[in-house]
Amino acid sequence: MIDSSRWTEINSMEDAGERSQTILNEIQPKLREILDQFIHTYQTNAPELGHYFRHGYESTLKTTVSDAKNPKYAEKKKNYGRKGFVELQEHRFFREPYSESIFTALKLNFNLEHQQIRIEMNASFYPILVGGPEINKQKFAQMIEVLSEDIEIWVIDDGLQRIAQHNLHDQLKSYFDKRRTPTIHFGKIVSIDGTMREEDLLELMWDTYEKLAPVRQFVSDELETHSSALTVLDKLKEHNDTLPIRIHNHDYKIVLDDVVKMKTHVTKQAYSVYEKEQLIVQGDMLFIHRGQLGKEFLGVRVKNAGMMYPQIRPFLDEKIYEWTFRKSFYQRGRHNEDNQNQLLQEQAHHDLRKNGFTFVDEQSFLIGHYDNSTQEFQEDIGDIKSKLITASLIFADVKGHISLPKGESGLHSQEKLDEDDEDLVEGTESISFDLVNIFDAIEGSEFTFSKEIIRDFHLNMTSLEDKHFVILNGISGTGKTQLSKIYANAVYGLNVDDDNPYLKIIPVRPDWMDSTALFGYYSSFEKKYIRTEFLDVLLRANEEKDRPFFVVLDEMNLAKVEYYLSDYLSAVESKMPIQLHVNDEVEDIPKTVEIPNNIYLIGTINVDETTHSLSDKVLDRAFVMTLSDVDLETFWDRLDNKFKDSLQLEWGLLTELHSLLIPYDLHFGYRTVKEMLRKLHKNATLPAEIRMERIHAVDRVISEKVLPKLRGDEQLLPLFDAWTDWCKTRLEEGSETMRHLDRMRKELDRYGATQFWR
């Protein structure tokens, strides 16, 4: 016997945890008992009852019991625990737990708050009816036509709202138009006041179950179609090997990632397109399956912009489905919009035909064939994916979303080169980011970069395929700019001292206040676009996307980096082009420019009173390396013998001083020591009667090249003491170095700080 008075008692309990626990202890076991009795009684008439999965409300109730004890959730859950239910789930199309392929064949719901027993099943039909094929609408109409008149239809939308059978289609469309899609319930609602015999409930459940047969069949047919469509999508997920493609006479390779799940209804397979070893563009394939919405489709995107979205259900309509695709362009908001879209479509068709696509009619091109009897594609999945991605790249190029080179691979736009660069290009045909080759090339330079530094620089430059930005920090003269040049030349197989047309060193000026310093601007006074070195590199890089272009912003923090580089950093992050101008009369400069993946940006910085600090926006987007180690031993070993033969004494003095300065980060770099040695050698070649004494010459270069950078506070006291002692033993009495040190030491004692300059 079912007693509604007990329901009232449970519903009146104020604590949600107590209510939920009572339902767990009393209501749910009773519901399970009734459901088991229902299956036992009617399984002979309906054998499928024994195959359904039995599911109940226990898990949610247990969660409510736990949350009601937690102050963080107690208020939110205070009205929970007012019902119990059990249901029979259909798992024939089961793919993953709680997937949309599961539907409820029958649900027994005890609603304590409203004193109701609801015997029901539920489903969603919105896009099936509103946006689906006409056959779905016909089947739906037939289902309603044969549905028993005493079957009620309702939704839970601001309370329970009943819907008349004859008005169901219009009501669903109304919900859909308002972007509201409440679940539709079919069944019977029984209000009880007092008691109800379990035998009567079982008979009512059977009567309802029989009369819901048209709805179950409709949903079952829909899920079977959905399952078959998922099989097609699963086939398209299978291939993840590297794919070769050719577009506009350029050879590319597509590297496919593993398929990963993004959310309940979407899985994704990312891909990267390379020309030679250079990343050109990235995109992904989306496998979208919304069974309850009647939609399964494949999405092919280029740089997060959708280019193709073929529907999958048409695959199931024929024994051998000929998969074709027709691309339409919708460039809204433009002048003469229809004509522009037509021109884009014509260009796309021309480019598709030029690149080997077969058209089955004037508008549609062939992708492949799907055999429903074997549930296999007749073509190799790799070939199909190649076509999908190739077509999408062509569409993206036609729309201006990306820019694909059109000439023969390896041909360069000579009009983009300076006359002096034309001959240089011939020596840059061998491009390799192989670290072993780079080690070998740099090993022969006079700069003594360790393998650890070279390897770290290489990883920082290449680990992010779509973003290359490294900042080199360190004391002056440690070879920050030279490291960039040597590395770029090594990549191109050039000698250390060769000019490289794919390397541009741009000195930063203190007056760079905005992005026009990099990208130029349109001068209304001169009626032309004012170009910059940086913009010229970008334009070339977009023409030759298979080649790395190295740009060094030398002493980049002489100006505020976030002022002039912000547009660049944002464009790299967002993958969106930068607006250059809006003037139709400018023909030599495009209105927008994108930052291609083959731009390798290097910034060198020095930190002193003349420079600016770097903001977090800049630091977050770069690898920052510090080059402060100076290997004088290796530097001396690689030095020309003319220096070694004549400057042994001087070299010993300079290395001793260098060791004194290292703990205070005041040591000198390669440039400084090289220039000091050049002066000392020049002095040594003078006639004996006019040359400086060797110790005196060392004293002079120290006071001229090392002391001017000396500044600091009382932390330098130990250095002054050690340096003074060194001068007394290694230099002449009354040396210039000692004179400056004495003066600076007095200032340090008096003011707590000192510097070379007065």
CATH number of the structural domain spanning residue 16: 3.30.930.20
246-269: b or e for each residue (b if 16 or more CB lie within 10 Å)?
ebbebebebbbeebeeeeebebbb
Q: Quick one: pLDDT at residue 445?
A: 63
Q: Is residue 192 part of a domain?
A: yes
Rounded CA-CA distance 98/94 in Å is: 9
For tokens 């539920």, the residue is 122
| Strands across the sheet containing 83-90 | 53-56, 83-90, 103-111, 116-123, 184-191, 152-156, 160-162
Could you tell me the pLDDT band of residue 411, with boundaries at 50, 70 and 90?
very low
Q: Which of 228, 263, 294 is the last residue of a domain?
A: 228
Q: Which residue has the higher pLDDT, 444 or 200?
A: 200
Minimum mean pLDDT range among 589-593, 654-658, 709-713: 709-713
Q: Is residue 76 part of a domain?
A: yes
Rounded CA-CA distance 734/706 in Å is: 18
Highest mean pLDDT among 194-208, 216-230, 335-349: 194-208
Rounded CA-CA distance 99/226 in Å is: 12
- Label residue 472 exposed, middle or buried (CB < 10 Å: 0-12, 13-18, 19+): buried
Instruction: Specify whether 571 is located in the same domain as 643.
Output: no
Could you tell me the pLDDT band of residue 19, with boundaries at 50, 70 and 90?
very high
Q: Is residue 404 part of a domain?
A: no
Q: Where are the beta strands (DSSP E) in 488-587?
A: 503-507, 521-523, 528-530, 549-554, 578-579
Instruction: Specify whether 599 is located in the same domain as 744.
Output: no
Q: Is residue 478 part of a domain?
A: yes
Q: Is residue 632 part of a domain?
A: no
- Secondary structure, 3-state, 473-491: ECCCCCCHHHHHHHHHHHH
Q: Which of 167, 201, 228 is the last residue of a domain?
A: 228
Task: Indicate the pairing of strand 469-473 with strand 623-626.
Answer: parallel
Instruction: Specify whether 441 is located in the same domain as 533.
Output: yes
Q: Percent of the chain, pLDDT > 70?
A: 91
Instruction: Specify whether 604 is located in the same domain as 670.
Output: no
> Half-sphere exposure of 598 toward its Cβ, with a 13 Å CA cutoff?
27
Could you tell me the pLDDT band of residue 446, with boundaries at 50, 70 and 90?
low
Q: Quick one: pLDDT at residue 414?
A: 40
**Which amino acid would we find at residue 630?**
V
| pLDDT digits 0-9 by tens, 252-279 | 999 999 999 887 788 999 999 999 888 9
Q: Quick one: pLDDT at residue 292?
A: 55
Q: Quick one: pLDDT at residue 756?
A: 87
Split into its structural domains, the chain has a count of 4
Q: Which residue has the higher pLDDT, 711 or 414?
A: 711
At 231, is the secondary structure helix, strand, or coil?
helix
Instruction: Specify whether 170 is located in the same domain as 29.
Output: yes
Alpha helices per DSSP H over 668-752: 670-684, 694-705, 717-730, 736-751
Residues 480, 627 contacting (CB under 8 angstroms): yes
Task: Using alpha carbons, select from 736, 337, 274, 662 the residue that is nearest to residue 465.
Answer: 274
Contacts of the segment 402-408: beta carbons below 8 A, 24+ positions apart: 402/281, 402/302, 402/303, 402/594, 403/542, 403/545, 403/594, 404/247, 404/248, 404/250, 404/280, 404/545, 405/248, 405/250, 405/543, 405/544, 405/545, 405/546, 406/248, 407/248, 407/249, 408/249
What share of residues in the chain are helix, strand, coil (percent, to 5)? 45, 20, 35
Can you give the residue range of the structural domain that contains 437?
414-626
Q: Is residue 409 part of a domain?
A: no
The pTM is what? 0.72
Instruction: Specify whether 577 is located in the same domain as 674.
Output: no
Task: Using alpha carbons, select from 136, 115, 119 the residue that is nearest to residue 127.
Answer: 136
Could you tell me the pLDDT band of residue 102, with boundaries at 50, 70 and 90?
low
Rounded CA-CA distance 684/703 in Å is: 18
Q: Quick one: pLDDT at residue 476?
A: 80
Q: Dig out the tokens for 457 from the structure.
A: 């620089």
Could you tell me the pLDDT band of residue 413, with boundaries at 50, 70 and 90?
very low
Average pLDDT, the chain: 88
Rounded CA-CA distance 103/121 in Å is: 8
Instruction: Specify whether 157 is located in the same domain as 253.
Output: no
Instruction: Specify whether 332 is located in the same domain as 253.
Output: yes
Q: Is residue 12 part of a domain?
A: yes
Task: Using alpha carbons, select from 54, 75, 59 the residue that is nearest to residue 20.
Answer: 59
Instruction: Report the pLDDT averaged over residues 1-20.
Output: 93
Highest mean pLDDT among 370-374, 542-546, 670-674: 370-374
Q: Quick one: pLDDT at residue 201?
A: 96
End-to-end Cα spacing for the chain: 104
For tokens 């496919």, the residue is 256
Rounded CA-CA distance 216/213 in Å is: 5
Q: Quick one: pLDDT at residue 336?
A: 57
Residues 531, 520 contacting (CB under 8 angstroms): yes
Could you tell me the pLDDT band of residue 244, with boundaries at 50, 70 and 90?
very high
| pLDDT digits 0-9 by tens, 284-320 | 999 988 755 567 899 999 988 899 999 998 999 899 9
Minimum mean pLDDT range among 79-83, 100-104, 428-432, 433-437: 100-104
| pLDDT digits 0-9 by tens, 386-397 | 999 999 999 999
pLDDT over 80 at 420, yes or no: no
CATH number at residue 501: 3.40.50.300
Could you tell me the pLDDT band of residue 221, with boundaries at 50, 70 and 90?
confident
Q: Is residue 40 part of a domain?
A: yes
Alpha helices per DSSP H over 238-327: none
Instruction: Specify whether 245 is located in the same domain as 209.
Output: no
Q: Which of 575, 606, 626 is the last residue of a domain?
A: 626
Taking the CB of residue 346, how many other CB atoms lie within 10 A of it? Answer: 12
Q: Quick one: pLDDT at residue 401?
A: 85
Instruction: Specify whether 381 is located in the same domain as 464.
Output: no
Instruction: Specify whether 139 is located in the same domain as 65.
Output: yes
Instruction: Specify whether 560 is located in the same domain as 618.
Output: yes
